[in-house]
Structure 1
Amino acid sequence: MLNIADTLYRWCREARPFALATVIQVSGSAPLPPGTALAVGTGGEAVGSISGGCVEGAVYELCGQVLESGEPPVRASFGYSDDDAFAVGLTCGGELEVLVQRVDPANQPQLTTALEQVLAGLPVAVAQVVEGPQRFLGRTLSVSGDGSAYDGTLGGLQEDKAVAAQADALLRVGRSACIQVGGDADTCPDKLTLLVHTHATPPRMLIFGAVDFAAALSQAGRFLGYRVTVCDARPVFATAERFPHAHEVVVDWPHRYLEHAEVDARTVICVLTHDAKFDIPLLRVALGLPVGYIGAMGSRHTHEHRLERLRETGVPEEHLARLRSPIGLDLGAHTPEETAISITAEIIAHTHNATGLPLSRVPGPIHGSLPAARPSPAAVLVA
């Protein structure tokens, strides 16, 4: 639902009821992930999309029925029809399940607060009950970005605490996912499945080296939703004018900046300096941090020499194994713009545990299910 937060927030502020259709489960080649939503207002206006167009009409009609009748939330499934590919269904071959509910903002004030936080750019998670006893369906509980507080209730203190803890964990890694709580007669007798929608602060892309490749990569990184920092020790090159797409340009020695930078498991580090006096101290720091991706530019010969230097400084092999160099996928890239696509393609593939192969050579659904959470780099570092 957070994909349409601006409109939903306006309707909530106006105390206008609306129907909300949320994708709660996908399989096969369904085009949009769980959590994507379509909403219909009291005037018949629609916002959002749940299938890229395949079943929008049928879901719109269902939203109108639920909104007008005030009936309890309903679940509906849509899938590919072998008999008539143009019938109501997903002609792309996938299947999806949708929860359609009427939302009265007066009954869920925590939703208004959560949407306001999203629009303010603050981290927040919204847990929405998508499976369980009818009286729970559609209820929401929101969790603040620092995990210190939650708003709303699912009916009991034990359920609320259990959901808040899991939602906070997902928020910290920036993932939306389904969770289950309950089923324990002593604590939470009702078994519930909740879809946790997360709005995390943007992940960071740290680019070291104020070169032409960095200019193109900062533009690509910003397009992908990263908060981009370009860092270089040379003030004549590290200027905001040369990197208009970066959120910040820092003049400092790369390793010194990285020692004090805020990073997490979603942070990507791209070393484009390919100069040993910068690379070696920088990579010594980077390879010891719990970040998601570390790549370095340079030829294979440069990389082998770099590994030797890092070993000499005491960097262990398990840390060196995290370094991706030469950086990027084999796309035949030559220009800075092509190289930026090569690098970001590798980052995307690494983030989603994908192969990086052409889809024509990969069997199975095009849109695979979301991967299990990648082990925290911190866990690898202490293993």
Structure 2
Amino acid sequence: MRDVIDAIRGWHEQGLRMALATVVKVYGSAPRGLGSKMVVNERGEFAGSVSAGCVEGAVIEEARSVLKGGQPRLLEYGISDDLAFSVGLTCGGIIHVFLESLDWEPDEHRVGVKALMEAVEKDETVARVTALAGPLAGRDCLLRMDGSRLGMLPFGEENETVERLALERLRAQQTARLEVALASGAQDVWVEVHAPRPVLVVVGGVHLAIPLVDFAAKLGFHTVVVDARKAFANRERFPHADEVQIGWPAEVLEGMKLHENTFIAVVSHDDKLDIPALKAALNSPARYVGALGSKKTQERRREELRQMGVTEENLRRIHGPIGMDIGAATPGEIAVAILAEMIAARRGKG
């Protein structure tokens, strides 16, 4: 969604009507992934992409029809091997694209794109839940992590069932297309999770942190290094970090806006820094908290954290010793092991 927000806002300010195309199903080696978007205005201009050029022209024609008053529609495109090869793939695939008009403000059936854009820009974790087929197609609501919502699901007495399934996807941060069996019949439901950009906070500007920050940046993380020691936290050591903060890590963490897409690696191996930082991290909604150190060190830290009032439930959140067991030995290898564990947690595999 983020890559088309500027276009949507600009065209709205010009008073142009728009349609939004979203990839809701992928079979085989399709050019773009699930959730890829393209917005088309009434002049035929577009931003974003659903297929890296293979079917954009056909989607634009369908969008013009929707903007003339047509209903939302679910489109299927087969991408031939020749077309796929032309955009850098070895074989083709099939994509399903949901096409709908964009309403800026809410009405009785739809939330409106303004509310979704505001949530995305505020770094909220939300899910847009949309009916994809039949007379309910295009009706939607926004769900938040706490279970509250904006708008209403369109399934009447069976809203609770759909909402429960959608909340499971939201809390796992997994966008999904659901085939929900209801008493009223099978429903085709799109649950698209919009989460903040992943943030990696590294506590301790030690040698291991250098490749960890470098690799994480390449994976799309916003990277933050925190250390109380100026010799460890500086731009000379971390030229590629998005932020380098000097201060007591616990105080820095408590002052940050930590969210469900925050990953915290406590690696200074100095209890004065690590234990208070772990307490602050565990009291936050961070998705991942990992700590460097042997099993013996982990248990000693856990006991100190218990005495500081950290609950057993929160203690179980610590990934320690940090990283997947891949036999890593060098700082670079350990960084790979840590990021592998973070990716598993992010994708619901940890």
**Pair in the same fold by TM > 0.5:** yes
Q: How many residues align?
A: 333
Identify the residue that residue 96 of structure 1 maps to in structure 2.
Answer: 95
Identify the residue that residue 75 of structure 1 maps to in structure 2.
Answer: 74
CA deviations on 1:140-164 (whole Å, 9 max, x unpaired) are 222356543312x444554555555
1:207 to 202, 206, 209: 202
The answer to whether the 8 Å contact 1:159/1:181 transfers is: no
Matches within 5 A, 1:117-136: 117-131=119-133, 133=134, 135-136=135-136
CA deviations on 1:87-111 (whole Å, 9 max, x unpaired) are 6998633322112233454664632
Q: Distance in 2 between matches of 1:280 and 1:296?
A: 10
Q: CA deviation at 1:115?
A: 1.7
1:198 to 188, 193, 218: 193
Identify the residue that residue 6 of structure 2 maps to in structure 1.
Answer: 6
The answer to whether the 8 Å contact 1:181/1:191 transfers is: yes
Greater displacement, 285-294 / 71-80: 285-294
Give structure 2 stretches of 5+ with no counterpart. Answer: 304-311
C-alpha distance 347-52 of structure 1, shift in aligned 2 (>3 A): farther
Identify the residue that residue 57 of structure 1 maps to in structure 2.
Answer: 57
Q: CA deviation at 1:207?
A: 0.8
Identify the residue that residue 344 of structure 2 maps to in structure 1.
Answer: 350
Identify the residue that residue 110 of structure 1 maps to in structure 2.
Answer: 112
For residue 248 of structure 2, what is the amino acid of its counterpart?
D
For residue 58 of structure 1, what is the amino acid of its counterpart?
A
Identify the residue that residue 380 of structure 1 maps to in structure 2.
Answer: none
Q: Could you say what secondary structure the match of 2:82 adopts?
A: coil
Identify the residue that residue 231 of structure 1 maps to in structure 2.
Answer: 226
TM-score, length of structure 1 as denominator length: 0.66
Q: CA deviation at 1:22?
A: 1.4
TM-score, length of structure 2 as denominator length: 0.71
Matches within 5 A, 1:1-383: 1=1, 3-12=3-12, 14-68=14-68, 70-81=69-80, 85-86=81-82, 92-105=91-104, 108=110, 110-131=112-133, 133=134, 135-144=135-144, 146-151=146-151, 153-155=152-154, 157-158=156-157, 163-164=162-163, 166-179=165-178, 183-184=182-183, 189=184, 191-215=186-210, 217-218=212-213, 220-222=215-217, 224-239=219-234, 243=238, 245-247=241-243, 249-252=245-248, 266-274=261-269, 293=288, 306-311=294-299, 322-323=319-320, 342=336, 346-347=340-341, 349-351=343-345, 373-374=348-349
Give structure 1 stretches of 5+ with no counterpart. Answer: 298-302, 353-370, 376-383
C-alpha distance 258-124 of structure 1, shift in aligned 2 (>3 A): closer
The answer to whether the 8 Å contact 1:205/1:227 transfers is: yes
C-alpha distance 48-229 of structure 1, shift in aligned 2 (>3 A): same
For residue 268 of structure 1, what is the amino acid of its counterpart?
F
Greater displacement, 6-15 / 239-248: 239-248
For residue 295 of structure 2, what is the amino acid of its counterpart?
L
Q: CA deviation at 1:121?
A: 3.5
The answer to whether the 8 Å contact 1:253/1:278 transfers is: yes
The answer to whether the 8 Å contact 2:298/2:321 transfers is: no
Q: Distance in 2 between matches of 1:122 and 1:265?
A: 9
Q: Distance in 1 between matches of 2:254 and 2:122?
A: 29
